[in-house]
Amino acid sequence: MTDESAKDKFKGKGKEAMGKMTGDRRQEAEGKTDQAKGKAKDAVSGLRERAEGMKDSMRRDDK
């Protein structure tokens, strides 16, 4: 998990909670969107790490 994705998830949870407490459906939806953005950033980061690992292992196999 990157700092940026954690920040998005945390901010989203706060917005969602505030939206639920105040009945503001738009704020609640924004919170859910922020959380989804954080999860997407985690997924991209994971894919990037796996690709780097594959690239490194291929280099070792070439030697």
d(CA 58, CA 61): 5
d(CA 2, CA 21): 29
pLDDT at residue number 57:
76
pLDDT at residue number 51:
86
Q: What global pTM score does this model have?
A: 0.76
Q: Can you list the positions of beta strands (E) in 1-63? A: none
Range of the domain at 31: 3-62
Confidence of residue 61 (pLDDT cuts 50, 70, 90): low
pLDDT at residue number 42:
93
Number of independent structural domains in the chain: 1
List pLDDT tens digits, range 6-43. 999 999 999 999 999 999 999 999 999 999 999 999 99
